[in-house]
Structure 1
Amino acid sequence: MAAPRRDKGRAIRGSGIAIAILIGIALGCIFAFFFPHGFFGPDWPTQTRPFSKSTLQIGSSSCESPERVNMLKADVVSLSEKNAQLNKQVRELTERLRLSEQGKDNAQKQVMALGEQHKAGPFGTVKALRTSPTVLPDESVNPRLAKILDQVAVRKELIVALANSNVKTMLEVWFNSIKRVGITNYLVVALDDQILEFCKSNDVPVYKRDPNDGIDSIARTGGNHAVSGLKFRILREFLQLGYSVLLSDVDIIYLQNPFDHLYRDSDVESMSDGHNNMTAYGYNDVFDEPAMGWARYAHTMRIWVFNSGFFYIRPTIPSIELLDRVADRLARQQNSWDQAVFNEELYFPSHPGYDGLHAAKRTMDFYLFMNSKVLFKTVRTDAKLKKLKPVIVHVNYHPDKLPRMKAVVEFYVNGKQDALEPFPAGSNW
């Protein structure tokens, strides 16, 4: 009888353990339901609070108010839009800050490259930098031209003219005037074989470029303006080789050595199409608009253009950028006039959508570097001005160039006082 009693006791103990396990599981489920975040969570006092009637009413009210839900959704959308706008503003301000810092960094690098930083001096003594440093010469650009320039140039400077057979007669008058003055540092860029042989036969320094389809077609048959536009592409190599160039059209008479009258303090030093102090050097031009009443007068600044047929250009980064800008625009804008583009790139300031050229410029003395309007309209009619001997005379205002060039030689070189009289101040058409 003892064995059955022991088995019965074991069965009772096993049942008790099973019941205890079941009770533990049940209690765990109950506590998990009422205390999902545990007994001691951050919101323990609130979560241990029994459900109240008001709580149930809020839940019920939320479920029963679609208008409230729509309002909350609208608020969410509005806040999202405001957040997007703020993010956009942050991005824009960040970009502005980045560009500002970049500009400061570039300015700092430029100052470091040009020299030591200095404090500003007393009032009236501060002068800004306007003479850019020259580029490092690169003879690999054109070794053949480098050898020619080494023989022709004087102090890394020379006069350069482009010519094709269309201007052969004027070219002869041009280089004879140069020889008469005693200038040796000049070079003709021959645009065809006839000019090449013509210069060689007259002992004139000459250079003919290697074949280039894009340039040669214009060079052989182009008119005055078309050929004039080529110089901005051709001159680039001269500057890259480290030479300053006095670019000259061939409708010019030389009466003195121009290198004795240059300042060399700017990237570009050019003669003007102006005919007096105001037009050559600039003036305040007042525009009148009566409809504006009290503000009817608007002040504008005006200056007559640089002549792109006679200018001195130094081998600097701004100068090379100028040549690139003009050449690029002339290639893209087929009907553009090179002189107009030349001046626009030099003078137009930076503005939204356009970065202006940061080049220093100087206007030459318009009585020394004289255009034909000044000569035929003003100088020849003034007894005192007739005694002035200009450095050059550029017959740019008149289409009858060759006879006027010869008359200039007669007047200034041979002393024939009435040589200029047969010509009108303007042209006949």
Structure 2
Amino acid sequence: MAGRRDGALMRGKDGSSSRSRILVAIAIGIALGCVCAFYFPDGLFRFSDPEHLSIKLGQVSTPCESSERTDMLKSELASLLEKNMELKKQVRELSTKLQLAEQGKDQAQKQILVLGEQHKAGPFGTVKALRTNPTVVPDETVNPRLAKILENVAVKKELIVALANSNVKEMLQIWFENIKRVGIRNYLVVALDDEMEKFCISNDVPVYRRSLDEGFDSIARTGGNHAVSGLKFRILREFLQLGYSILLSDVDIVYLQNPFDHLYRDSDVESMSDGHNNMTAYGYNDVFDEPSMGWARYAHTMRIWVYNSGFFYIRPTIPSIELLDRVAVRLTREPKSWDQAVFNEELFYPSHPGYDGLHAARRTMDMYLFMNSKVLFKTVRKDDQLKKLKPVIVHVNYHPDKLSRMKAVIEFYVDGKQDALNNFPDGSNW
């Protein structure tokens, strides 16, 4: 009995020990499983997804199919690139249209500010229309260096500007010596080459060295009067954008008074005339006769001699800038055209089918104050009364012997030498 009891006790102890070991093993397994689940969420062994594997297998193709696929992709790429270029072009066009629309909106707002509220027409003979366009808002970002120079040179946002290269050094010296003698402070030479810049600096003349692009550099350095004259319309644009009114001057001009004391400033462009009397300078009714028309043989025409593009006052307005742009574009497109002819055509031609005329106000300067050399040598020097009149400027535009005539003008008006003009013919010898 005792032996059986001891054996039973021994079996009980062994069974309990086995169960304990099993429970410990299970606990350890669960703990390891948790650790593996935490650190290896995708499992210890990764197998390709069946669907992904099937796609990969499906992409395996023969060399012929691969070549066709490559050609198709190249074609699609070329098509996309072409569409991209087209979209960029459309964006640029829309940007330009938006800019023009904003400019038109800005101009309309300025006109509203000028016009103010609407008014009824006044009594007969009392109605006067506006003649002065509003000035643009200055934009110094256009040319900060030039803006800084103009701050120091201009007086009341106005100045005389001349373009010059080293070919006209002698005339330019007479030009600025007389400007200084009259007491004009607000003037500037736009030097088109390094030699002219140094010449101006050595003579204490305000100068701005304009860096031109390659297309204009050769003209600026070596061009004659007409060639250089064509550049001024592009260069002047920056002055207007900066908000300055410019009295553009050729260098074959003798200054005898301060021109700023004799300007009206009521128009976009105020210019001297190539006319030589009241009719040609200010306009007249010219009757054209065509006998074959019988009763209607006489046709009335309105005529005026052209404005001189070598001496004009231009205000910083939208029509003024548009004028400069139009002339510059045409001179680029028509390189053989004369800048003065183009200047007048754009200023005077009215709107007509296929063409929108320029809506700019203009004024003709007094031909005896702002005198061309035809008026002086053909009329004034021969008239005892007109000889007593002292002009503001004399522009030697009608004669090729400019230097000698400029010196004679100084002798006559400044030095008082009454016979200084007598030895010259009315016109030129050729």
Residue identity opposite 1:143 in structure 2: P
Name 1:80's counterpart in structure 2.
none
SS in 1 for 2:271: strand
Name 1:338's counterpart in structure 2.
339
Give the distance between the partners of 1:238 and 1:110, measured in 2 at CA: 20
Report matched runs for 1:94-173 at 5 Å: 111-114=111-114, 115-173=116-174
State the 1:215 CA deviation: 2.2
Give the distance between the partners of 1:188 and 1:138, measured in 2 at CA: 22
Give the distance between the partners of 1:299 and 1:339, measured in 2 at CA: 26
Q: Is the 8 A contact 1:271 1:365 kept in 2?
A: yes
Name 1:401's counterpart in structure 2.
402
Name 1:249's counterpart in structure 2.
250
Q: Structure 1 length normalisation: TM-score?
A: 0.74
Q: Kindly tell me: are residues 367 and 217 of structure 1, through their superposed partners in 2, closer, same or farther at Cα, counting changes over 3 Å?
A: same
Name 1:193's counterpart in structure 2.
194
State the 1:107 CA deviation: 10
Give the distance between the partners of 1:319 and 1:191, measured in 2 at CA: 23
State the 1:111 CA deviation: 4.8
Q: Is the 8 A contact 2:111 2:134 kept in 1?
A: no
Q: Is the 8 A contact 1:187 1:206 kept in 2?
A: yes
Give the distance between the partners of 1:400 and 1:286, measured in 2 at CA: 36
Give the distance between the partners of 1:426 and 1:130, measured in 2 at CA: 37
State the 1:214 CA deviation: 2.1
Give the distance between the partners of 2:385 and 2:265, measured in 1 at CA: 29
Q: Is the 8 A contact 2:193 2:221 kept in 1?
A: yes
Matched, 1:295 2:301: no
Residues 83-107 of structure 1 show CA distances to partners (whole Å, capped at 9, x for unaligned) of: xxxxxxxxxxxxxxxxxxxxxx999
Residue identity opposite 1:135 in structure 2: V
Give the distance between the partners of 1:140 and 1:109, measured in 2 at CA: 22
State the 1:120 CA deviation: 1.1
Q: Is the 8 A contact 2:110 2:134 kept in 1?
A: no
State the 1:341 CA deviation: 0.3
Name 1:12's counterpart in structure 2.
none
Name 1:386's counterpart in structure 2.
387
Q: Is the 8 A contact 1:269 1:364 kept in 2?
A: yes
Give the distance between the partners of 2:211 and 2:167, measured in 1 at CA: 20
Unpaired runs of 5+ residues, structure 2, are: 1-104
Q: Is the 8 A contact 1:160 1:246 kept in 2?
A: yes
Name 1:356's counterpart in structure 2.
357
Give the distance between the partners of 2:308 and 2:247, measured in 1 at CA: 12
Residue identity opposite 2:333 in structure 1: R
Residues 300-345 of structure 1 show CA distances to partners (whole Å, capped at 9, x for unaligned) of: 0000000000000000000000000000000000110000000000
Name 1:184's counterpart in structure 2.
185
State the 1:216 CA deviation: 1.5
State the 1:209 CA deviation: 1.4
Give the distance between the partners of 2:111 and 2:268, measured in 1 at CA: 18
Q: Kindly tell me: are residues 106 and 207 of structure 1, through their superposed partners in 2, closer, same or farther at Cα, counting changes over 3 Å?
A: closer
Choose 202-211 or 408-417, whichever is displaced more. 202-211
Name 1:280's counterpart in structure 2.
281
Give the distance between the partners of 2:301 and 2:242, measured in 1 at CA: 40
State the 1:112 CA deviation: 2.4
Q: Structure 2 length normalisation: TM-score?
A: 0.74
SS in 1 for 2:405: helix
Q: Is the 8 A contact 2:274 2:308 kept in 1?
A: yes
Q: Is the 8 A contact 1:111 1:117 kept in 2?
A: no
Q: Is the 8 A contact 2:192 2:221 kept in 1?
A: yes
- The alignment-based identity, stated in percent, is 83
Q: Kindly tell me: are residues 387 and 244 of structure 1, through their superposed partners in 2, closer, same or farther at Cα, counting changes over 3 Å?
A: same
Residue identity opposite 1:228 in structure 2: S
Name 2:218's counterpart in structure 1.
217
Residues 164-216 of structure 1 show CA distances to partners (whole Å, capped at 9, x for unaligned) of: 01101100010001001000000000000000000000000000113421221
Name 1:327's counterpart in structure 2.
328
Q: Kindly tell me: are residues 158 and 106 of structure 1, through their superposed partners in 2, closer, same or farther at Cα, counting changes over 3 Å?
A: closer
Q: Is the 8 A contact 2:275 2:281 kept in 1?
A: yes
Residue identity opposite 2:275 in structure 1: G
Residues 6-39 of structure 1 show CA distances to partners (whole Å, capped at 9, x for unaligned) of: xxxxxxxxxxxxxxxxxxxxxxxxxxxxxxxxxx
Name 1:305's counterpart in structure 2.
306
State the 1:110 CA deviation: 6.6
Residue identity opposite 2:118 in structure 1: Q
Give the distance between the partners of 1:352 and 1:190, measured in 2 at CA: 42
RMSD (Å), alpha carbons: 1.4
Residue identity opposite 1:181 in structure 2: V
SS in 2 for 1:198: helix
State the 1:356 CA deviation: 0.2
Residue identity opposite 1:112 in structure 2: I
SS in 2 for 1:367: coil
Residues 44-74 of structure 1 show CA distances to partners (whole Å, capped at 9, x for unaligned) of: xxxxxxxxxxxxxxxxxxxxxxxxxxxxxxx
State the 1:109 CA deviation: 5.9
State the 1:217 CA deviation: 1.7
Name 1:15's counterpart in structure 2.
none
Name 1:372's counterpart in structure 2.
373
SS in 2 for 1:253: strand
Name 2:48's counterpart in structure 1.
none
State the 1:218 CA deviation: 1.0
SS in 2 for 1:132: coil
Matched, 1:268 2:269: yes
Name 2:317's counterpart in structure 1.
316
Name 2:240's counterpart in structure 1.
239
Give the distance between the partners of 1:374 and 1:107, measured in 2 at CA: 40
Choose 205-214 or 306-315, whichever is displaced more. 205-214
Residue identity opposite 2:123 in structure 1: P
Give the distance between the partners of 1:208 and 1:138, measured in 2 at CA: 20
SS in 2 for 1:339: helix
Q: Is the 8 A contact 1:345 1:356 kept in 2?
A: yes
Give the distance between the partners of 2:290 and 2:141, measured in 1 at CA: 58
